[in-house]
Amino acid sequence: MSEQNTPHTDIGTLGEFGLIDRIASHFTPTQNETTKGIGDDAAVMDYGGQPIVVTTDLLLEGIHFDLMYHPLKHLGYKAIIVNLSDVCAMNAVPKHVTVSLGISNRFSVEAIDELYEGVRIACEAYGVDLVGGDTTSSPSGLMISVTAIGSAPKEKITYRHGAKSGDILCVTGDLGAAYLGLQILEREKQVFLANPDMQPELSEKKYLVGRQLKPEARLEAINHFEKSGLVPTSMIDLSDGLASDLMHLCKASGTGAFVEEAQVPIHDEARLQAMEFKLDPITCALSGGEDYELLFTVDPSDLDKVRFMNSVYIIGEMTSEADGINLHTTGGQIHPITAQGWKHFE
Ligand code: ADP
Ligand code: MG
């Protein structure tokens, strides 16, 4: 059937970001309404009036979640949140979602009810309407695809590009906890598989496990910005990890950056857990994904607006591109920060 000479390049050679760049290179927006196409947390379209932002994320069983430790209600909640987070990353307010499902006959009606209970709770908590979706059978496993739509005045929309050398780098919450929560769940799964009579001991790990299973989108930060008249110069949400997502901000903005290790917020439980796993807490903060905090930059003249903002941490500064992206360690050294993001295709 297949042609002998058809070239076959492993997707792994490009990686996720290389593949997206390759796809994007084949499409040039032609519509006047397209303000921003591929390449940010959400696309921006302006039909006159207030622009809208649109983003979509796909969650696959076995890749993004494991039903052995992701309760369906939490999963429904998380599927909505990860999309709302991308809307917030544009400094926009989420308004609508669609939810599409691929379900195998392994799932009962009650299981789907559970999933949608989580969807409903998230929609209610964030004031978002579920306005559609699609339902199809899948040969095995569960697939959830969510699209979120939001809006913001044109002058408030914040892109990954827009940071300048000298801008202050901020984050809305502590980092690394969701990754460590996942490591705990994986460990307990292995214990359970080896001995099904063993019940997981998670009560002391509530914070970390909660950060993995029930993330939140930082809509309150967007509301704070609005109240204090602050428009960040650039923003991204932390889904892949600080290192990888900071690299996206820098690449889009044509800047470098430095991060002060001592200023990176790491929860006490995350610090302890990292040490228990013999991991460096700062490595978990830099490379662990799924914290869904917002990473943003502000002009130095706006410093006072962020300095006293609840749950905003100043962690570094943007620099010129030639300076690269560096970590200033607590020991006084300067380490280049490298990041590939998560290598889905390896
Ligand atoms: P995020 O982590 O914020 O969800 P991604 O890294 O998934 O962002 O995507 C970055 C950009 O690439 C977004 O603009 C997204 O819409 C676009 N993108 C991702 N995958 C595809 C694809 N298969 N086709 C077209 N655009 C894509
Ligand atoms: Mg994002």
From 16, 19, 20, the mutation candidate for ligand 1 (largest count of ligand atoms within 8 A of CB) is 20
Residue 118: domain span = 11-155
CA separation for the pair 243, 240 (Å, rounded): 8
Residue 19 CA to ligand 1 centre (angstroms)? 10
Q: Which of 93, 126, 155 is a domain's end point?
A: 155
Phi, psi of 70 (to 5 degrees): -105, 100
Is 3 contained in some domain?
Answer: no
Residue 200 CA to ligand 2 centre (angstroms)? 32
pLDDT of residue 222: 97
Same domain, 68 and 168: no
Residue 40 CA to ligand 1 centre (angstroms)? 7
Q: Which of 155, 184, 208 is a domain's end point?
A: 155
Which residue minimizes the CA distance to atom 8 of ligand 1?
41
- Give the CATH number of the domain where residue 218 resides: 3.90.650.10
Buried b (16+ CB within 10 A) or exposed e, 239-262: bbbbbbbbbbbbebbebbbbbebe
pLDDT in tens, 56-94: 999 999 999 999 999 999 999 999 999 999 999 999 999
Same domain, 67 and 110: yes
Residue 243 CA to ligand 2 centre (angstroms)? 13
From 23, 35, 38, 147, the mutation candidate for ligand 1 (largest count of ligand atoms within 8 A of CB) is 38
Which strands sit side by side in the sheet containing 325-328, from one edge to the other?
234-237, 294-298, 168-171, 313-320, 255-260, 325-328, 334-336
Residues of the chain with pLDDT under 70: 1-4, 339-346
Ligand 1 atom index nearest CA of 27: 25
Number of CB atoms found within 10 A of residue 47's CB: 10
Ligand nearest to the CA of 292: 2
Give the DSSP H or E segment for 212: helix 206-213
DSSP 8-state assignment for residue 316: E
40 lines ligand 1 (CB under 6 A): yes
Contact 213, 181 (CB under 8 A): yes
Q: Which of 127, 155, 183 is a domain's end point?
A: 155
User: Tokens standing for 248?
Assistant: 């996206």
85 lines ligand 1 (CB under 6 A): no
pLDDT of residue 343: 39
pTM of the model: 0.95
- Give the CATH number of the domain where residue 131 resides: 3.30.1330.10
Domain count, the chain: 2
Is 164 contained in some domain?
Answer: yes
Give the DSSP H or E segment for 125: helix 109-126
239 lines ligand 1 (CB under 6 A): yes
Residue 159 CA to ligand 1 centre (angstroms)? 14
37 lines ligand 1 (CB under 6 A): no
Ligand 1 atom index nearest CA of 37: 14
Which strands sit side by side in the sheet containing 129-137, from one edge to the other?
34-36, 43-45, 52-60, 143-151, 93-103, 129-137
